[in-house]
Structure 1
Amino acid sequence: MPLDLDLTASAVVDDPYPYFAAARTDAPVQWHDGLGMWLTFTHAAANAVLRSRSLGRLWSPRDPAQPMPFFELIHVNSLLENEPPTHTRLRRLVAGAFARGHVERLRPRIAELADRLASDVAEAGAEGGIVDLIPLYAEPLPVQVIAELLGVPESDWPLLRPWSNAIVKMYEYAVTDAQREAAERASREFVEYLRDLVARRRTQPGEDLVTSLIAETDAHGTRLSEDELVTTCTLLLNAGHEATVNVVGNGMTALLTHGDQLSRLRADPALVPGAVEELIRFDSPLQLFERTATADTEVAGVLVESGTKIAALLGAANRDPAVFAEPERFDVARADNPHLGFGAGIHFCVGAPLARVELQASLATLLRRFPALALAEPPQRRPEFVIRGVRSLPVTVH
């Protein structure tokens, strides 16, 4: 019997986890007529989907009748949307560029940026005023970190967030014509901007990742093409930035509504690294990740026929009681936490080390600077399912 679950319904968007739990009791993998694909509801099934070599990321235009050439460009060349051998070559080059010390180079700068934004929050919340943490803190920090990583001048930082916002709207299952047009326009503007940045770095190298990507070669002397380089930079902004914003938003919502856990974390800042992993597990910023079968593949007893899609529901996997003790309990000291928030297998997030440094600095800074931080009003959740987050987080800081 097909699954009856509307992922766009407001009740599901507000809190999908009870629906996942109910579905999990029926079967680990179920067919969804509306989406035309299988969905997983257990950790084991999601993990199998992410790791299977016969379930791949096969990019195809969302609607061939409405071409989006720039949006297609930044996906067809992406390491996220390719399988071996193309993925192997791209991953090796991108990982090699990252290995040139960029995460450690940025560690002190990330702490500095977080502290600077915290000062803006403190000023806005002076004398007990209400402050929205999303636009003042959660949104600008990852933009600034990615900009520093890529070597984008500070004067251009305001360009990045609107581009990312418009592009990621296309990953949802209900997209308007206006959103489609905005995504294509943002893709074109971002691609043109990055082509110019790459051209400048070819003649004026810096300490940034773009310079490292230009210089990186594999064992055969192969380099990234310009399209691949531009696509990699776009992926780092869209995937890294959007996820980080929503971990901070979802995570601070969880902390501010679980006072015992917030107090525990304040009392022992050494818990911050583990707490970040729990923030990712408890309310996953990315809820769904698709794969397409390149051959008939069995997942949890279900045959996924070649050419058929199956999606790992990461939010469901991260609340699976077979893997997580008391999965509905938010526990900043959770020790055994094999969440799938960064993916698994060959598509495991290449930027995970940087994301962890950024999230730890973000959380530690808020705890240190604002000992009286508290919710002022209920958070307003974003209306999308796939990329889960809050768009408004009103707090008081004094």
Structure 2
Amino acid sequence: MHLPPKQGAAFDPLSEAFARDPYPAYAALRATAQPVYYAPFDIWLLSRYADVQAAALNPLSLRSLDHLMSADEMAEERRAQNWHDMPFHARFVQFSMLNADGEVHQRLRKLVFREFTPGQIERLKTGVATYVGGLFDRLGGPFDFIEDLAAHVPGLAIGRFLGVPDEDCPQLRGWSDDIVQYFDIDRTDARKALAERTTKTFYDYLTDLSKHRRRHPKDDLISRLIARWDTGELSEDEYISTCMLILMAGHGSTIDALGNGLTALLRFPDQRLMLSADRTLMPTAIQEMFRYDAPLPFFHRYASEDMEINGWELPKSTKIGLLYGSANRDPEAFADADTFDITRTPNRHLAFAAGPHFCLGNHLARLNMEAVFSQLLDRYPRIEPVTEPVFKPGLSLRGPKSLPIAVR
């Protein structure tokens, strides 16, 4: 089947209603006779699980336009999307393992893959748990789960994983937020300037830290990446972009996953009580948190050749939007898809993507989730929301801005 006519602007991911609850909009997309939907920001959206999974696994769907356009065409596309005139952002953010394909992506992923094994991540478990315990010890009565707790955890875990000194970890959240915000569809000049300015600050910090670590190497990822840079396995730009990607990719998304997870536990108190009574359910509960409300509900691909996705013909260069958040609520893939079920198994959700770009940091994210929710339930038999959470607007991210709770 050929692509249907462009349907207009009925799908509005920048609206307050979508930020509050995007799932009715996703359900409406899935329910249409033609689930390939043209969004007004020049992208064809896939909303059904089977279609999203097929596109993610298809070797013809790429993250970058580099193989599809000439240099002049790429420059024009960047101007059209307001990605131009960002020298540091272009060097270290627009180019990365996440946005590379083929041999470059495989080479960069192979260089760091061994660092993300469960055994390597397990080495962080005790330190992260101790740090989380210290955060809880400082909390009093009602507190904001996001700002007072969740926001502090991923920076410390990722910073220690990479080799950033503990005292520098708090600033990583702000840098990550400032840079990642420009990946959404609302690319104003002010947001652009913020992303470029912060990327330069981040680059300066990593350059200084790398000079120090070269003189005083440690048993950390930065030191090992510097060694690969020195042997020519990595260029300087690849080294910097990889460090930035690791620090950014799992930072805000883990904060959002923690907020989404607690929101689900509060809205389904029977599931929270079940988890409190049986901690062996923690692994499946965390999996369900990612499925039920994915922190990264959208990613894009490009058709590198004319390709077919479950009967739909997508011409070469078509920009494809993979709605992971919608796919994870597809009733064709998950029984009672809108129900939060911590015993759900199997749970083949797409919150960590699929195919060659499957998230390397999934074990680290789960470690953070387990550390926080285990201690939260240990300390507080009763947890209640103070107010309804207010969620961030946009298509690319899903998570509460704040989540005030009363505990006892």
Q: Scaled by the length of structure 2, what TM-score is found?
A: 0.91
Match of 2:6 among 2, 14, 24: 2
- Give, as a single letter, the amino acid of the residue that structure 2 aligns with 1:351: G
| CA distance, structure 2, for counterparts of residue 29 and residue 235 of structure 1 | 32
| CA distance, structure 1, for counterparts of residue 28 and residue 179 of structure 2 | 33
Asked if 1:148 corresponds to 2:152, the answer is no
Moved more, 104-113 or 326-335: 104-113
- Tell me, what secondary structure is at the counterpart of 2:102? coil
Match of 1:51 among 41, 57, 67: 57
| CA distance, structure 2, for counterparts of residue 388 and residue 28 of structure 1 | 25
Match of 2:31 among 11, 14, 25: 25
- Give, as a single letter, the amino acid of the residue that structure 1 aligns with 2:111: L
Deviations 1:238-273 (A, max 9, x none): 210111000100110111111111111111111111
- Give, as a single letter, the amino acid of the residue that structure 2 aligns with 1:175: R
Moved more, 192-201 or 94-103: 94-103
Number of the residue aligned with 2:315: 305
The residue correspondences of 1:287-326 to structure 2 (distance < 5 A) are 287-326=297-336
Match of 1:107 among 108, 117, 125: 125
Asked if 1:204 corresponds to 2:204, the answer is no
| CA distance, structure 2, for counterparts of residue 43 and residue 272 of structure 1 | 25
Number of the residue aligned with 1:117: 135
- Paired residues of 1:214 and 1:223 also in contact (CA < 8 A): no
- Paired residues of 1:246 and 1:285 also in contact (CA < 8 A): yes
Relative to structure 1, is the Cα distance of residues 300 and 35 closer, same or farther in structure 2, using a 3 angstrom cutoff? farther
| CA distance, structure 2, for counterparts of residue 66 and residue 161 of structure 1 | 25
1:335 positional shift: 1.3
| CA distance, structure 2, for counterparts of residue 50 and residue 305 of structure 1 | 16
| CA distance, structure 2, for counterparts of residue 205 and residue 100 of structure 1 | 24
Number of the residue aligned with 2:71: none
1:214 positional shift: 2.4
- Tell me, what secondary structure is at the counterpart of 1:81? coil
1:104 positional shift: 2.1
Percent identity at matched positions?
39
Number of the residue aligned with 1:93: 111
| CA distance, structure 2, for counterparts of residue 222 and residue 336 of structure 1 | 43
- Give, as a single letter, the amino acid of the residue that structure 2 aligns with 1:49: A
- Paired residues of 1:274 and 1:335 also in contact (CA < 8 A): yes
| CA distance, structure 2, for counterparts of residue 98 and residue 85 of structure 1 | 20
Asked if 1:166 corresponds to 2:178, the answer is yes
- Paired residues of 2:82 and 2:187 also in contact (CA < 8 A): no
- Paired residues of 2:57 and 2:355 also in contact (CA < 8 A): yes
The residue correspondences of 1:184-199 to structure 2 (distance < 5 A) are 184-199=196-211
| CA distance, structure 1, for counterparts of residue 136 and residue 220 of structure 2 | 25
1:69 positional shift: 1.0
1:33 positional shift: 4.3
Match of 2:382 among 358, 372, 397: 372
- Tell me, what secondary structure is at the counterpart of 2:301? strand
1:374 positional shift: 1.5
Q: Scaled by the length of structure 1, what TM-score is found?
A: 0.93
Number of the residue aligned with 1:181: 193
- Tell me, what secondary structure is at the counterpart of 2:333? coil
1:97 positional shift: 3.9
- Give, as a single letter, the amino acid of the residue that structure 1 aligns with 2:138: D
Relative to structure 1, is the Cα distance of residues 104 and 65 closer, same or farther in structure 2, using a 3 angstrom cutoff? closer
Number of the residue aligned with 1:139: 151
- Paired residues of 1:278 and 1:332 also in contact (CA < 8 A): yes
| CA distance, structure 2, for counterparts of residue 356 and residue 85 of structure 1 | 29
- Paired residues of 1:249 and 1:393 also in contact (CA < 8 A): yes
- Tell me, what secondary structure is at the counterpart of 1:38? strand
1:181 positional shift: 1.0
- Tell me, what secondary structure is at the counterpart of 2:320? strand
- Give, as a single letter, the amino acid of the residue that structure 2 aligns with 1:31: Y
- Give, as a single letter, the amino acid of the residue that structure 2 aligns with 1:331: D
1:75 positional shift: 2.6
1:158 positional shift: 2.5
| CA distance, structure 1, for counterparts of residue 401 and residue 359 of structure 2 | 24
Asked if 1:328 corresponds to 2:338, the answer is yes
- Give, as a single letter, the amino acid of the residue that structure 2 aligns with 1:188: K
Mark the runs of 5 or more structure 2 residues left unpaired by the alignment: 66-73
Residues matched between the structures, number: 390
* Structure 1 residue ranges (4+ consecutive) displaced by more than 6 angstroms after TM superposition: none
Number of the residue aligned with 1:37: 43
| CA distance, structure 2, for counterparts of residue 387 and residue 2 of structure 1 | 25
- Paired residues of 2:37 and 2:45 also in contact (CA < 8 A): yes
- Give, as a single letter, the amino acid of the residue that structure 1 aligns with 2:289: L
| CA distance, structure 2, for counterparts of residue 316 and residue 101 of structure 1 | 32
Number of the residue aligned with 1:227: 237
| CA distance, structure 2, for counterparts of residue 266 and residue 52 of structure 1 | 41
Match of 2:400 among 369, 390, 394: 390
| CA distance, structure 2, for counterparts of residue 186 and residue 75 of structure 1 | 11
1:45 positional shift: 0.7
| CA distance, structure 2, for counterparts of residue 86 and residue 30 of structure 1 | 30
1:29 positional shift: 3.5
- Paired residues of 1:284 and 1:315 also in contact (CA < 8 A): yes
Relative to structure 1, is the Cα distance of residues 359 and 302 closer, same or farther in structure 2, using a 3 angstrom cutoff? same
1:76 positional shift: 4.2
1:224 positional shift: 1.7
Moved more, 153-162 or 53-62: 53-62
1:376 positional shift: 1.3
| CA distance, structure 2, for counterparts of residue 99 and residue 312 of structure 1 | 26
Relative to structure 1, is the Cα distance of residues 74 and 374 closer, same or farther in structure 2, using a 3 angstrom cutoff? same
- Tell me, what secondary structure is at the counterpart of 1:80? coil
| CA distance, structure 2, for counterparts of residue 362 and residue 158 of structure 1 | 17
Match of 2:350 among 333, 340, 352: 340
Relative to structure 1, is the Cα distance of residues 230 and 296 closer, same or farther in structure 2, using a 3 angstrom cutoff? same
Mark the runs of 5 or more structure 1 residues left unpaired by the alignment: none
Please tell me the root mean square deviation across aligned C-alpha atoms, in Å: 1.9
Relative to structure 1, is the Cα distance of residues 316 and 64 closer, same or farther in structure 2, using a 3 angstrom cutoff? closer
- Give, as a single letter, the amino acid of the residue that structure 2 aligns with 1:184: E
| CA distance, structure 2, for counterparts of residue 257 and residue 107 of structure 1 | 29
